[in-house]
Amino acid sequence: MYNKELGIIGVGKIGSTLLKRLITTKAVNENNIIIYDIDENRLKDRSLEFNVDIAKNIIDLVKSSQYILIAVIPQVIDIILLEISSVLTREQILISIAAGVTLSHINKFIDKQIGLIRIMTNIPALIGAAATTIAHNNNVNDEELKFVRDIFNAVGMVVDLEEKHLDAVTGLSGSGPAYIFIIIEALADGGVKMGLPRDIAQKLSAQTVLGAAKLLLETNKHPGELKDMVATPGGTTITAIHEIESAKLRATLIRAVEAATIKSASLNSSK
């Protein structure tokens, strides 16, 4: 019925990143993708770069695609939903990565019982290391969900959650890279204070965070257990940990996630 598996509306930073990863990982064949963007120059550039077809307009894209991915900023999604609602069918799946736009909000514009999927991902998608969460309504079957999981596995790790948890996901992994960048910068500053060259201190700091994260994910050990493996009795690490705990870094990070979650919820309620 549809001559394309996937239609992407919006090929800005996130849309283009996803498109590139899908093609390089062969998660979706380029012949099965069609794209549209209001910026004609960007649209042509992405088409030439990734060898994918261009839709004449949004309606053409929707009529061509089994799965429709909306990769636009939240401020313009309502305009798009109004435009495409009349041509969507029950056989299609609509996927939104617009931050803070709930499934119930999308439903206000679509009076059909179609599959709706909401995605929360984060900026490491740019290098294929995203943390992505999927929430969906009851009109999405297992086969359809697998297809969407495969799409986002191309940019990193994927987990499924009920939509009610997505504000907390925003506070943790959506905003989380910024917290980690501050930690990396602070560790590098510490190295510089103690005499290390700035470029070396930054590389060591970033690699230390990367290595610690990979060790945690690959061993599946509790972070406290791994911490104890480093902190030998009377050593440098336990001395440093005492300083960290005295400064209440742990409590500060917990409050950061809490504050970002509350802010996300307030943005959602204003939609």
Q: What is the pLDDT of residue 57?
A: 94
State whether 33 and 117 are in the same domain: yes
Is residue 60 located within the same domain as residue 108? Answer: yes
2 — pLDDT class (breaks 50, 70, 90):
confident
30 and 143 part of one domain = yes
The whole-number pLDDT of residue 69 equals 97
Residues 124 and 162 in one domain: yes
pLDDT at 209 over 80: yes
For residue 227, pLDDT beyond 90: yes
pLDDT at 167: 93
Residues 16 and 70 in one domain: yes
The residue among 166, 188, 216 that closes a domain is 166
pLDDT of 181 reads 98
Stronger pLDDT, 175 or 264, i.e. the higher one:
175
- Residue 155 sits in the same domain as residue 243: no
Predicted confidence at residue 6, as pLDDT, reads 97
pLDDT score of 212 = 97
- CB hemisphere CA count around 39 (13 angstroms): 13
Judgement on whether residues 131 and 239 belong to the same structural domain of the protein: no
The Cα 142–Cα 148 span in angstroms is: 10
* Number of domains the chain is built from: 2
> Is the predicted pLDDT of residue 1 greater than 80, yes or no?
no
| Domain boundaries, position 224 | 174-269
Could you tell me the pLDDT band of residue 271, with boundaries at 50, 70 and 90? low
- Give the side-chain half-sphere CA count within 13 A for 105: 19
83 vs 10: CA distance, rounded Å: 14
Identify whether residues 144 and 201 lie together within a single domain.
Answer: no
- Considering the domain architecture, whether residues 12 and 146 belong to the same structural domain is answered as yes
- Check residue 204 and give its pLDDT: 98
DSSP characters for the chain?
Answer: --SEEEEEE--SHHHHHHHHHHHHTTSS-GGGEEEE-S-HHHHHHHHHHHT-EE-SSHHHHHHHEEEEEE-S-HHHHHHHHHHHTTT--TT-EEEE--TT--HHHHHTT--S--EEEEEE--GGGGGT-EEEEEEE-TT--HHHHHHHHHHHHTTEEEEE--GGGHHHHIIIIITHHHHHHHHHHHHHHHHHHTT--HHHHHHHHHHHHHHHHHHHHHH---HHHHHHHH--TTSHHHHHHHHHHHTTHHHHHHHHHHHHHHHHHHHHHT-
Q: Is 268's pLDDT higher than 80?
A: no
Question: In this predicted model, what pLDDT tens digit does every residue of 80-128 receive, in sequence order?
Answer: 999 999 999 999 999 999 888 999 999 999 988 999 999 999 999 989 9
CATH number at residue 113: 3.40.50.720
**From CA 101, how far away is CA 124, in angstroms rounded?**
21
The H or E element containing residue 157 is strand 156-160
The pLDDT value recorded for residue 266 is: 86
Q: Is the pLDDT of residue 267 over 80?
A: no
pLDDT by residue (tens digit) across 163-179? Answer: 999 999 999 999 999 99
3-state secondary structure of 93: strand
pLDDT over 70, % of the chain: 98
Confidence check: pLDDT of 182 > 90: yes
pLDDT digits (tens, 9 = 90+) for 53-91: 999 999 999 999 999 999 998 889 999 999 999 999 999
Rg (CA), the chain: 22
Q: What is the CATH number of the domain that holds 202?
A: 1.10.3730.10
42, 155: one domain: yes
- pLDDT greater than 70 at residue 248: yes
Mark whether 18 and 119 lie in a shared domain: yes
What is the average pLDDT value for the chain, to the nearest integer?
94
Domain boundary at 166, 197, 225, which?
A: 166
Across residues 40-60, what is the average pLDDT?
95
Domain boundary at 119, 146, 166, which? 166
Percent of the chain topping pLDDT 90: 89
Ramachandran area for residue 57 (φ above 0: left; ψ -120 to 50: alpha; else beta): beta
8 A C-beta contact, residue 223 and residue 253: no
Q: Residue 184: which of 163, 211, 156, 203 has the closest Cα?
A: 203
Same domain? 108 vs 194: no
